[in-house]
Amino acid sequence: MTHISVTVDGLHRHGDVEPRLLLVHWLREDLGLVGTPVGCDTSNCGACTVLVDGRSVKSCSVLAVQVDGKTVTTIQGLAEEDGEWHPVQKAFKECHGLQCGFCTPGMVMASVDLLSENPDPTEEEIRNGLEGNLCRCTGYHNIVKAVATAAAEMKGASS
């Protein structure tokens, strides 16, 4: 067993883990953070996307020991402390950027990462930025719309 110490959604979490434990399993099974789903389990679909030190990663493709000492943000840590949703979460709701919702946690986290690097993306840049996240319901149109809406909202808020 290896001891790890990680800041997860603003809280200091630590524990002894088997080196082979995947990050997504640590989040879901040890910490109870089941907002991050396991999708394909093959690095393809991106449903399990979380942020590690602010950058998107697929948590089914990372060992828990690899994030020792780092900061992890899941979909459950995105809202403000008072419960106010992140602009990307709001935009997904407003633009109907989801149907079954299974890909949504990963889509939202990948979108947050995309907007942190490129606050004013073109439609093409949004589509390229989300190439690692698969949605089988929406056809992506409303997801792209949601990200553009969130970008405008966040830009307005910061100016």
Partner 1 sequence: MIPAEFDYVKAGSVDEAVAALVAGGEDSKVLGGGQSLLPVLRLRLNSPSVLVDVSGIDELRQVTDEGSSILVGAGVTTHEVMHHALVTAHVPLLSQAAGLVADPAIRHLGTFGGSCTHADPSGDMPSVAAALDAEFVVAGPGGRRTVAASDFFVDFFTTAVGLDEVLVAVRLPKMDGWGSHYEKFHRTAQAWAIVGVAAAVKVEGGAITGAKVALTNMGPTPVRATSVEAALVGGPATVEAIAGASGSAADGTSPTTDTHADAEFRQHLARVLTARAVTKAAGL
Among 6, 33, 47, 57, binds partner 1 (CB under 8 A): 57
Does residue 2 belong to the site contacting partner 1 (CB under 8 A)? yes
Does residue 124 belong to the site contacting partner 1 (CB under 8 A)? no
**CA-derived radius of gyration, the chain:** 15
Q: Which residue's entry shows tokens 């990372």?
A: 62
What stretches of 40-140 show up as alpha helix (H) in DSSP?
Answer: 87-94, 104-117, 123-129
Does residue 141 belong to the site contacting partner 1 (CB under 8 A)? no
| 73-112 positions binding partner 1, by CB under 8 A | 110
Does residue 6 belong to the site contacting partner 1 (CB under 8 A)? no
Handedness of CA 94, 86, 138, 131 (dihedral sign): positive
148 vs 102: CA distance, rounded Å? 21
Does residue 9 belong to the site contacting partner 1 (CB under 8 A)? no
Nearer CB in complex with partner 1: 65/94: 65
DSSP per residue over 39-86, as a string? --SSSSS-TTEEEETTEEEEGGGSBGGGGTTSEEE-GGG-S-TTSPPP
Report yes or no: 106 and 49 within 8 Å, Cβ to Cβ: yes
Does residue 122 belong to the site contacting partner 1 (CB under 8 A)? no
Does residue 158 belong to the site contacting partner 1 (CB under 8 A)? no
Count the site residues for partner 1 by CB under 8 A. Answer: 32
Nearer CB in complex with partner 1: 20/83: 20
Q: Which residue's entry shows tokens 């969130």?
A: 150
Site residues for partner 1 per CB under 8 A: 2, 18-20, 22, 25, 41-44, 46, 49, 52, 55-58, 60-63, 65-66, 68, 110, 113-114, 128-129, 131-133
